[in-house]
Every structure is written in structure tokens, then in C-alpha cells.
Amino acid sequence: MKNFDGYKYIDGGVCAAKGFKANGLYCGIRKSHSNGIPGANVKPDLGMVVSDVMCNAAGVYTQNKVKGAPVIVTKKNLAATGGKAQAIIVNSKNANTCNADGEEKAEKMCCLTAEAVGIKPEEVIVASTGVIGEILPIEPIENAMNDLTAGLSYDGNEKAATAIMTTDTFKKEVAVEFELDGKTCRLGGMGKGSGMIHPNMATTLNFITTDCAVSAEMLQKALSEVVKVTYNCLSIDGDQSTNDMCMVMANGLAGNAQIVTEGKDFDTFKQALYIVMMNITRLLAKDGEGATKLIECTVSGAKDTDAAIKVAKSVICSALFKSMIFGEDANCGRIFCALGYADAEFDVSEVDVYMSSSAGRIKVGEKGLVIGYSEEAAAKILAQDEIAVDISIGGGNGKATAWGCDLTYDYVRINGDYRS
């Protein structure tokens, strides 16, 4: 992970910040079978995060017109409390989406959580991920609630991070420590997502906690600005989930003066949020379904940030480009093709393109043309598991990075039998 002055990476994920407990367990939302033995090799499917005190909270959500019931209920809850929350309840294996009783089930999950931890139902953030269109059984969640809350601990972050996984192959956690107003503050998060990722706020669920004191309004401002250049610059397969959400909770236990306006303290907090969200974005891209390579595309010289984002995402989203990376075939005309249909204004004759990895860096395009390069050097670069493409499109100040992964045979296999 890239180092940033004034920020220190620490362990703990959503429990890194003072006053946050978490847990995760298997409750049986979808019955697991291995070699005909029910319950064998089970994965956790229910998680919880709870703050010792009330938090200011903010969220961003999927822009898919079809929204999961938990998204709808969480938005209602935050509106009712004026941006306050104290707990998160989340399940995997079932998205609770496109079901007639979806909102009723999501609200029931809030009520069960509230009763178990001693808060109000509207002070609960609820989330689900998994298969769309299957009725969510509430009984396994209800039956597991006592064990879930009894097992809450200040080092339970790994259990919670594992509980939200679906086709993910590893848990995704990042946390940092920084100074603010003479106080040590911590901010950490967990995310999940492997396929059905093309966010514009990804199936991604992201939960971030901090002990920094920040008003709900400034928390929302920071989150909305940072998500634009992190999660919204991520694409695995071009499918935008119905259940995406990214939530941030700030309990203020670090003791700093509450951030209520823009300024130096707000910028310091916002940078911490960026570091955590950017690194989780990279982890999500690296763990794309069937992926063997992480791709990072940085565009500079654009007229503004929005134009740079459009060009970078156009390349990252190209199935032909993603296939090229998988095949380790430096067919660089595909890069030019993909950037050329981006919905952004630039002069193609000013485009320069470089490819790099731990094996080196080569120039493959200059002034809008594919140029001669060493095929041997290109093959060595593309043989690595992290590939960078740097594109300059002019003399503007706009710059942005987008993240994705290669497109492999396994992506089709995984999604061909997703429900089995």
C-alpha cells in the first residue's frame, strides 16, 4: 500500500477506531452442503458492528433503479434520525431484493438488532448481499441474534469482514491512524465485492468507522467527494448492483473538536477517508470474480477531473482490453479504441500511452499512434499480477485513476452456476 505523510496503516478494520465492536457468524440463510453433509464447510453469513455511543452517519447508495429493500430502509432510517446511527446489521447469501416482503424483512432485521443492543430500530443500518429475487428467511437471523450480540468484541472485525463475503476470495480491510486537533484519530473500514461491480454511487458493501468527531453534514460531504474518485472509479464487469452502499459512522470518541466546516481539519479527515477507500477499491478490483490481474489506469492532462474519470473508466471497462490483459498480449490498439469512445472531449493527436508493472515500463503510444516497442519487454510487463496503464491526453490539469481486473474464463464459470 502506498504511504502517505502523516498517516499510519494499522490493523483492526472497522474495530480500529475507539468504541467499535463487531462479530460475524453462520446462521444458515442458505443451507450449506459439502459432500452431502448439511452445514459442512460453512461460510459466515451474518455480521454486526456496534458503537459504544451514538454516531453521526452518512451514506451513498446504488443508482440502479431496482434497489434492494435494505437500501430503501437504511435511507429512511438515516432521514428519520437526521444522520444518526449506532449499529450495522448485514447478511450475505441473499440480497433481499425484488421481494414483496423485502422492506418488512429489512425492518425486522433493524428491530431485532435494536432490541438486542438496546437502541431504536431507526438507529440501525441494514444491508444485504447475495442472490436477487429469493425470499430472505428471517428465522435464521432471529435465532442467531443472541449469539451474534454476545460475541461482539473490540477485535471482532475479521469475523464481520468474513461474514459479508459472497464470491470474494479474501476479506478486505484497511485502517489508518492520524493526528487531528492534537488527538490521535483512527479510521478503518471493510468492503466486499467480487462481481456485479460497476458503481456510480458497487455488489459492493462498504462500512467505515471512525472515532473522529465530524458532523453528519461534513461526513456526507467528505464521503460523497471521496467516493467519486474511489469506488465510482471501479469496474469489474459493467453490472451495477441493486444493493450497493457505502456507510460511514463517526462516534467522536477521539476527543477532537468536532469538524463542522471545511478547513484544515476537514482536509485531514477527508484524506484519511480517501486512503482507506482507495485501498479498499484496489482490493475489490484485485479480487474480481475469476481475476488473475489488477489493472490500474491513470489519465492525466484532461480538461478536468470528470473528463479524466470518463477516459480512465472507458479503458478499464473495455472487455477487449480486459481480455488482452488476461492473455498477456500487448495488442495496444485496444487501449486507443477504448479511450476513443469515452464521453469526453480531447485531442487524440495528443495522446501518449505507457504500460508498466514491477517488470518495467514501456511507451506503447505517442501522439495518437501505436508505436514500435519491444514485444519481449511488453510480455514481461503483462506477466505480472498488477498492471498499470498511464495515459496523457493533453495539457489540462484533470487527473484520475480507475481500477479493474482482467476478464477470464473463470468469470463465466463462477456466474454460470452462481446459485449452486
**pLDDT score for 94:** 94
Confidence label for 66 from pLDDT (cuts 50, 70 and 90): confident
Compute the average pLDDT of residues 295-309: 97
- Check whether 378 has a pLDDT greater than 80: yes
- Check whether 32 has a pLDDT greater than 70: no
350-365 pLDDT, tens digit each = 999 999 999 999 999 9
CB atoms within 10 A of CB 341: 10
d(CA 414, CA 308): 32
Q: Is 401 a catalytic residue?
A: no
- Check whether 191 has a pLDDT greater than 80: yes
Cell 516497442 found at: 373
Q: Residue 320: what are its φ and ψ, rounded to 5°?
A: -70, -40
- All structural domains of the chain, each given as residue ranges with its CATH number in brackets, are 7-286 (3.60.70.12), 294-416 (3.10.20.340)
Lowest mean pLDDT among 87-101, 236-250, 296-310: 236-250
- Check whether 214 has a pLDDT greater than 60: yes
* Residues of the chain above pLDDT 90, percent: 80
- Check whether 203 has a pLDDT greater than 70: no
The residue among 190 and 32 whose pLDDT is bigger is 190
Q: Which of 110, 392, 410, 400 is nearest to 234 (CA)?
A: 400
Compute the average pLDDT of residues 299-326: 95
- Check whether 302 has a pLDDT greater than 50: yes
Confidence label for 63 from pLDDT (cuts 50, 70 and 90): confident
**pLDDT score for 38:** 47
**pLDDT score for 35:** 43
98-124 pLDDT, tens digit each = 999 999 999 999 999 999 999 999 999
- Check whether 262 has a pLDDT greater than 90: yes
d(CA 195, CA 72): 22
d(CA 236, CA 244): 14
Lowest mean pLDDT among 58-67, 174-183, 333-342, 410-419: 410-419
With 0-12 / 13-18 / 19 or more C-beta atoms within 10 angstroms meaning exposed / middle / buried, residue 124 is: buried
pTM of the shown model: 0.88
CB atoms within 10 A of CB 155: 13
The residue among 384 and 200 whose pLDDT is bigger is 384
Report in angstroms the alpha-carbon separations of 215 from 20, 76, 85, 284, 351.
Answer: 18, 19, 13, 29, 43
Is residue 138 a contact partner of residue 82, using CB atoms and an 8 Å limit?
no
**pLDDT score for 137:** 97
d(CA 249, CA 16): 13
Average pLDDT, the chain: 92
d(CA 206, CA 218): 19
Q: Which of 60, 218, 223 is nearest to 127 (CA)?
A: 60
- Check whether 406 has a pLDDT greater than 90: no
From the candidates 203, 210, 268, 408, which is the catalytic residue?
Answer: 203
137-179 pLDDT, tens digit each = 999 999 999 999 999 999 999 999 999 998 888 899 999 999 9
Q: Which helix (H) or strand (E) holds 149?
A: helix 139-150
Is residue 169 a contact partner of residue 287, using CB atoms and an 8 Å limit?
yes
The residue among 40 and 277 whose pLDDT is bigger is 277
**pLDDT score for 36:** 43
**pLDDT score for 285:** 85
